Structures are given as structure tokens and as C-alpha cells.
Structure 1
Amino acid sequence: MPSFVWLETEEEVRSAFLIMRELRTHLDEETYVALVREAQEKEGYKLAALYEGDKMVAAVGFMPMITLYNGRFIWVCDLVTTSAERSKGYGNMLLSHVHDWAKEHGYGIVSLSSGLQRIDAHRFYEKKMEYEKVSYVFLKRL
């Protein structure tokens, strides 16, 4: 049975880099660690991993947010299962942990965005996890 582990120390955060890099290919290890640490300190970002035995197989990062659109909600920033371990239910397990954490802390909504090219991920969110597609996310680089 896979085990769920919170990643809080710098060493623990660093241990998830190789898996997180599969999703966030633009980040080098030092930038990744610095961004996670800053997000933890300033934004309440939570990082967790799923282990099969002593091997990390998936990771999730999320944070509480408040907007006028959703009110108080949880934003899933990062969700990735290592490529060799996909389609084994790990993403479902991690998102279920996020849902449970949200309920326990008084949040009624969990939201996320997913790149347009990630068709398999969209199918997973909509069909397996019962998320609704409610908007597009727009980005302007300055």
C-alpha cells in the first residue's frame, strides 16, 4: 500500500525534484527548491509525495487561496506521477488526499489548471476525478 508523506524540510523538498521536473521541465533544482520554499513561507504551499516502499512515485503541491470567483478554495499547483508509474492510481490517491485535507480545513472547492496539450490529464480530471471544465487560463509574459 502506497504511503503519503508531507515534504517540508529543504532536504524533503529536494527529494521530489526529479519527479517534479517531469512536469516543470523549465526548472533547475536550485530554482525549484527556492520557489517551493518561498511559496511555503509566503503562500502556505503544501508539498506531499506518494511512496511505494522507499521509492517516490508521485508528488502534489497545492495551496489555499481566496478569490471573489471561488471564495476560499484549494489550488492544485502541481500534480505529477513519474512516467514509469503512471496509470496505477497514484494521481487519484494524491488528489483524494488533497480533497480530504480541503474538507478537514473548511474548503469546499479544489481547482487546478492543466496545459492544453495534456489530453490524458484532462480525461483523468474529468472522467476519473469528476472535475468540471469551467474556464480557460490566459497568460501574458511581460
Structure 2
Amino acid sequence: MKNFISKLFKTIGIFILRYGLGLVIIWLGFLKFKNSEADYTHQLISGGYLSWVLQYLTPYALNQIIAYVQIVIGLLIMLKPISRSLSFWGGLAAAIMLLFSISLLFTSHVVWQTGYGFPELSKIGQTILKDVVLFGAAAWCIGDSM
């Protein structure tokens, strides 16, 4: 019985890691089409090392690009039953995207509560913190798709 329960939860966990990651990335991609998300992205990027991007793209154009990229990445991750190779590239792209996001925790001035310092994250910082776990799921997807 213990073996059965162990295998059941591993199977559920593996399923949720892959398809949950794909769903979350696609969902967040669709949210990027909202103007409020563009304002959030502008606030986040303007305070970090990626601020140079805003010299070439408006926050709204940048968000549109990010939205389409995220939707494609999520779909690629979910294609493992059809193509391990496409799923591998989706996982790799997700890992790279999430590393950029995680790096903003350490380089953007808007992720910490003003006047409180570490460990008080702002609302923006709290939304980025989830990317640490999503990165772990993306790394697992890469390994599982090889």
C-alpha cells in the first residue's frame, strides 16, 4: 500500500510540475496583454539592470513581446507527449526567462519595502519570489525531456 501511495503522489507531482508550469506561464503570458501589467513591468525594469531595454521599446510593446514568448514557451513545455525535443527547448527557454526574473530580486530597487530592507519584500518582490519555484520546475522539465 505504501508503494502504491508513493507512486501515485510521484505521478501526480510529475504531472503538475510539467503541466502546471506550462499553465502558469501561459496564464501569466495572457495577463501581460493588460496595460496594468505594462506599468508593473516598467516599474520593475526601470529600476534594474535591464533598464536599457526601455530605450528601444515602450513598456507596452515589451509586454506584448513577453506575452507572446511566454505563451509559446508554455505550449512547448506541454508538448512532451508529442515531442520531447520541443518540450526540452520550452523548458530551457522557461529557465532562462525565470533566471532573468529572479535576478531582478537582487538588482531592482522596487522589490524591497522602503525603509524596512531585508527580508521585507514589496508586492512586486513577492510576485517575483514565486519564480524561484517555477525555475525549479523548469529545470526538472529540461532534465525530464532529455
Q: Report TM bin, short chain.
A: 0.3 to 0.5
- Normalized per residue, which structure has more helix? 2
Give TM-score scaled by structure 1 length. 0.38
- Normalized per residue, which structure has more strand? 1
Give TM-score scaled by structure 2 length. 0.37
Query: Which structure carries more relative contact order (alpha carbon 8 Å, separation 6+)?
Result: 2
